[in-house]
Amino acid sequence: MTEQLPGRYVNNRYQLRRLIGRGGMGEVFLAYDRLMQEAVALKRVMLPHGESDLTVPGIDNRLALAMEFQTLGSLRHPNIISVLDYGFDDEEGQPFFTMELLHQPRNIIEAGRDMDVSAKLDHILQLLQALVYLHRRGIIHRDLKPDNVLVVDGQVKVLDFGLAVQRGLATEPPVAGTLAYMAPELLQETPATQASDLYAFGMIAIELLAGEHPFDTHNVANLIQDIYTRIPDLSGLDIRRKLAQLLKGLVAKSLAERHSDATRVLTLYAQAAGVALRESDATRESFLQAARFIGRQHELNDLLEGLDALTEGEGAVVLVGGESGVGKSRLLDEVRMHAMVRGMRVARGQSMQDGGSLYHAWRPIIQRLVLFTPVLAEETAVLKVLVPDIERLLSVPDLPAMGRQSALDQLPAVLEALLRRQTQPLVIFLEDLHWARESVDLLTRVYQGIRQLPVMLIASFRNDEAPDLPSVLPHAHLIELKRLEADEIGELCHSMLGDRVTNQEAVIDLLERESEGNVFFIVEVVRALAEETGRLDLIGTQTLPPTVFARGMKTIIERRLARVPLRDRPLLQIAAVVGRYLDLDVLTYLEPDVDLLHWLTVCSDAAVLDVNEGRWRFAHDKLRGGLFDRIDDEQRLVLHRRVALAIETVYGIVPEQYKRLAYHWGMAGDLEKEAYYASLAAEQMVQAGLNLEAKALYEQALRAITALPQTRERRLQLIDWATRRAEVSFYHPDDSIPEMLDHAMQAAQEVSDVIAVMKVLSAYGTYYYMVGQVNAARDVVTRCLALGHEYGIDRDQTLLDYMMRPYGTLGRTQILSGEFEESIEALDQSIAMGQATQQYHVVSSNLMWKAVSQYMTGNRQQSLQIADRAMQLANVIAHPSQIAGNLSVLAFLDAITGYTEQTEQRATLALEICQKTADVHPQYIARASMGRVYMLLGQERRAAHEFEIALKLAFEKQVYTTVPMFQAWHAETIASSGDWQRAVRLAENALQLAQKTHQRLSEAEVRRALGCIYAEAGMNVMEWQRARTHIRQSIAMFQQMKALPLLANALFQLAQLSYEHDEIESAANAMTQARVLANELDMPWHKVQIAALQGTLGVSGQ
């Protein structure tokens, strides 16, 4: 049967190419998997009309089917067809599953025609072992017949399992081909049992040995009569008498007389054939890995409630945390199955340890998304940066390449657009987020919108390795998995071992003692006990040892590896070096003569490897880590070098492999290549706005390059990477930067390179500015700019970058000094150079600071327009640090001009972004701005809380830009609470810091605050005179600087305090000046307060 099916798809992933089989229960197609790029067999299970509709009670049948599919998908036996994937058709709701495609198979009877008796007996043994395996998993085949037992290259493969739910829904009578292998009781509608499966096995064995079926299969009536009455004649078979007796017992008419235990039959068969058998590793693994879901019902119910809400369009982000081996993946597997049963789409990705490529965990998710989501042409070009073969997936012509930076900038917006286009519920699983900060970054950029979409994202992480992850996603729902309790350990033990185990209390006590409730170790203890006894059901019959793992993980690894043949272990070591997930292309390149499929099967049977979402991996990362630790240092160097060379050969030197190559070359001891690839990976992180990751990678590059003998080229590289590291530390300054830059300056002077010297001076300037040392910053950037002008660099378009940053730093230091007109000139220079060199994040930042200068000097409308341009540009390039920085500056402007609601909104947004970027400056500026607003609103406690957080962060990181101003505001809240002595001390400290760091703008604001605090201290003349002096000094400084919003506030407070001290004329004069400025600058809070004071003074508001 070869019916052609052009253009038909299942879930837009599987292209159905032709029909290759059809029965009463479904159809089997040759299909092409567009994601995995391989041919598969796809079976569509036919449910009666209506059962696929989620609006009818058929959902119970769907759940049962999904559970059976999940079980089939977990089967890993050399004689059973591998189920690769399963789900429900998006369009028709019909269930399906995919299997490995067998090439040129023959059914067992056809294959046996050319065999001798020993080969036939071997095929019967293989079939029986498969049946034992299935029955031990609780699976009854129900439709065992030659067409479902295929042979390829001498290997038996059992397929087309009859599903319990499917059988319950069947409406068609069995055909003659199936009747020939049906036990008599099945004709009377008795449910299928292991005994009926063994009957079918016996009939197949007899037919194979005899060369023909013992009954009349050409006439249905005669066939049915034979099934009930005829005893097969085995006298002519060339087999031992014991085997003939066994076969007769298998096909006995009476159910009571027939064999019903496949394991017992296997033992009898081995005796009859003279073969010694032990419980196979594969059989044992089937029980250990198929234990039912235990101990997580509360957490599962929590997640299922989320799925219920998702059907109503309410999205969510959920974090599932727990230690390694506690059962996170098992819980997610269970939720995945329930999601598919509800007709939801599912996408899954997993992070990699040690060198995964940028956004690695998101790649398979985006691959799936594009299969069922409309994608615009320009979005396709962006997504190509993560999915290089996207044109093939979407069947569109090759697209022109987009710049990598531009694509990364637009990626978050495109991902969010894809999520917004979902027309039915989507569940995304992200596993092992503790290994992928950049994947967390991409999530944080879109997760706020997820809650308003039909999207649920469930992410797992190790809470002992990434305890701060929940704080990065503060609105995510957190589920923490604890270790199993004693009763739950008992349930799990019963699930694996059943009721047959004797002395179960002692077994459970041993499991609890050895594992402490960690699921991974529970399974390992049971596995170890089974290996000692030879069979799972013999556990407890012998004296239990006091301990199983005297040497912990090392013992586990040794036990597992002992089951892998010696010839297969070298490749397993290479795989451990590669990582948790196997890179089959790299392994094939490294060991081209190894039969990879056979090797995978052997390692899977030993429970060292398994398959997840179609990808081979170590069954647990503890196994990979333990195996890796067994490799000696010298061999590790060799293996890492081989892997690195293989990656370069197989994939080429491409951005997706930079971080991976840096890791492997570093582990191989090649410092030159480690430094090279680490620097490339760092720059990739910079382009994605991931400053912390970039900082760590630049540090890796610097450590490597400084450990090598210094040449001119290496010194230039050191300078380049040190200054780049300083630049990304703009958002995360630390006290290691000066020493690092000192080394870089020494190297620059040694190579006598002007550009190198300018790079270092520029980086010094950035650092000094960020820590608030205004004069030091101004001094070094002035020297840098002078060098540039002297050597004509300002006229060379290719070298403008070395002038752009110093001009930007100069402009910002001038703002801190209150030189706003001068700062605008410097910032304009930097903006022009940034535009010329397309450094748009620099342009956006300097535009925002130019807006500050414009606002301070009274050009409010122009300032707002410039700020709007800065925000638009930051959003276009999707640079999170820049967006947060701009928002915090806007929040600061809103705070000092009295826009209370806008301040809170912008500061909150900035802080949400900073929770993932960990940027210092936007955090403390946003916090202080919120504190200022709470001061204006009379909420002193909330204000003090925000100031305390802001100042603690600033002092911990030793950054002092605008900090004296924030200290002064904090002191004012302390004074409001009545502790004016402490407030005076804090304000005096702030004044000293402002003068020490030459921050004149902050100094003026500190004097104003100090005046207000002295005024709060008492109503005596001396204190009032001191207060008035400070405030008037503040006003004079603001007037000189033309810092008009701060001047307006100082004048208003002078008016208030003058009125309270009966200096009415002075109060009226100050109030009039304050009113004019507040109106010109549109300062809403101040306008209200001034109006109230006017009424009190009886002064006209005209």
Query: Do 82 and 121 lie in a common domain?
Result: no
pLDDT of residue 167: 39
Pairwise CA distance, residues 794 & 788, whole Å: 6
Mind giving me the DSSP string for 128-187? HHHHHHHHHTT---S---GGGEEEETTEEEE--PPPHHHHHH--SPPPHHHHTT--GGGG
C-alpha closest to that of 625 among 676, 683, 576? 576
C-alpha closest to that of 858 among 536, 1076, 596? 1076
Cα atoms in the 13 Å half-sphere on the side-chain side of 128? 25
Pairwise CA distance, residues 462 & 1022, whole Å: 62
Query: Do 289 and 301 lie in a common domain?
Result: no
Given the structure tokens 């219920």, which residue do they identify?
Answer: 308
Query: Which CATH number do you get for residue 28?
Result: 3.30.200.20
Query: Do 228 and 260 lie in a common domain?
Result: yes
C-alpha closest to that of 94 among 57, 38, 50? 50
Tell which of 82, 100, 118 closes a domain.
Answer: 100
pLDDT of residue 55: 36
Query: Do 509 and 540 lie in a common domain?
Result: yes
Query: Which CATH number do you get for residue 600?
Result: 1.10.10
Question: Which range marks the domain in which residue 49 is found?
Answer: 3-100
Cα atoms in the 13 Å half-sphere on the side-chain side of 1028? 18
> Which sign does the torsion angle of CA 448, 449, 452, 454 carry?
negative
Kindly state whether residue 1083 falls inside one of the protein's structural domains: no
Tokens representing 381?
């070009």
Pairwise CA distance, residues 868 & 863, whole Å: 9
Domain count, the chain: 6
For residues 283 and 132, is the Cβ–Cβ distance under 8 A? yes
Query: Do 514 and 569 lie in a common domain?
Result: no
Tokens representing 787?
């060098």
Cα atoms in the 13 Å half-sphere on the side-chain side of 449? 15
> Which sign does the torsion angle of CA 65, 66, 68, 73 carry?
positive
What is the chain's Cα-based Rg?
37
Query: Do 341 and 465 lie in a common domain?
Result: yes
The predicted model scores a pTM of: 0.63
pLDDT of residue 899: 92
C-alpha closest to that of 335 among 464, 409, 431, 402? 431
Q: Cβ–Cβ contacts within 10 Å for residue 833, how many?
A: 25
Binding site residue list: 43
Tokens representing 618?
């170590």
Query: Do 376 and 353 lie in a common domain?
Result: yes
Running DSSP on this structure, what letter comes out for residue 460?
E
Alpha carbon 741 to its chain centroid, in Å, reads: 35
Mean pLDDT by 10 residues, the chain (1102 residues): 63 87 79 85 73 43 67 73 80 82 89 88 89 79 89 88 46 58 89 91 92 91 91 86 90 89 86 63 54 72 90 89 82 83 83 70 86 86 82 79 75 85 89 77 71 87 82 84 75 63 67 69 71 62 61 65 85 90 92 89 82 77 80 92 95 89 94 95 81 86 93 92 83 77 91 90 89 89 91 74 90 94 94 89 92 92 93 85 91 92 92 78 92 92 92 85 93 89 91 92 94 76 82 94 93 89 88 92 91 74 49
How is the beta sheet containing 149-152 ordered, strand by strand? Answer: 106-107, 149-152, 155-158
Query: Which CATH number do you get for residue 824?
Result: 1.25.40.10
Query: Do 239 and 380 lie in a common domain?
Result: no
pLDDT of residue 645: 96
Tokens representing 974?
């302390």
Tell which of 847, 867, 887 closes a domain.
Answer: 867
Kindly state whether residue 7 falls inside one of the protein's structural domains: yes
Pairwise CA distance, residues 1003 & 1009, whole Å: 10
Q: Give Cα separations from 512 to 197, 306, 497 (angstroms).
A: 38, 32, 16
Pairwise CA distance, residues 603 & 624, whole Å: 12
For residues 139 and 164, is the Cβ–Cβ distance under 8 A? no
Kindly state whether residue 804 falls inside one of the protein's structural domains: yes
Query: Do 596 and 546 lie in a common domain?
Result: no
Tokens representing 855?
């606002």
Mind giving me the DSSP string for 810-860? HHHHHHHTT-HHHHHHHHHHHHHHHHHHT-HHHHHHHHHHHHHHHHHTT-H
The helix (run of H) or strand (run of E) holding residue 426 is: strand 426-431
Query: Do 273 and 283 lie in a common domain?
Result: no
Q: Give Cα separations from 822 to 154, 804, 856, 1048, 1065 (angstroms).
A: 86, 16, 13, 22, 36
Alpha carbon 540 to its chain centroid, in Å, reads: 42
Kindly state whether residue 793 falls inside one of the protein's structural domains: yes
Query: Do 41 and 126 lie in a common domain?
Result: no
Pairwise CA distance, residues 428 & 316, whole Å: 10
Collapsing DSSP states into helix, strand and coil, what is residue 778? helix
Q: Cβ–Cβ contacts within 10 Å for residue 1036, how many?
A: 14
For residues 291 and 473, is the Cβ–Cβ distance under 8 A? no
Collapsing DSSP states into helix, strand and coil, what is residue 114? coil
CA-based end-to-end distance of the chain: 95
Q: Which long-range contacts (CB under 8 A, 24 or more apart) does 1011-1016 make?
A: 1011/1053, 1011/1057, 1012/972, 1012/975, 1012/1053, 1012/1057, 1013/971, 1013/972, 1013/975, 1013/980, 1013/983, 1013/984, 1013/987, 1014/984, 1015/1057, 1015/1060, 1016/975, 1016/976, 1016/980, 1016/983
Binding site residue list for ATP: 43
How is the beta sheet containing 477-480 ordered, strand by strand? Answer: 345-350, 426-431, 455-461, 316-321, 477-480
For residues 78 and 151, is the Cβ–Cβ distance under 8 A? no
H runs (alpha helix) in 215-275: 220-229, 241-250, 262-273
Query: Which CATH number do you get for residue 273?
Result: 1.10.510.10
Kindly state whether residue 816 falls inside one of the protein's structural domains: yes
The helix (run of H) or strand (run of E) holding residue 722 is: helix 712-728
pLDDT of residue 51: 47
Kindly state whether residue 588 falls inside one of the protein's structural domains: yes
Kindly state whether residue 955 falls inside one of the protein's structural domains: no
Query: Do 325 and 432 lie in a common domain?
Result: yes
Tell which of 36, 69, 100 closes a domain.
Answer: 100
pLDDT of residue 74: 65
Residue partners of 74: CB distance under 8 A and separation at least 6: 289, 290
Kindly state whether residue 976 falls inside one of the protein's structural domains: no
The amino acid sitting at 860 is R
Residue partners of 713: CB distance under 8 A and separation at least 6: none
Tokens representing 1100?
């006209």
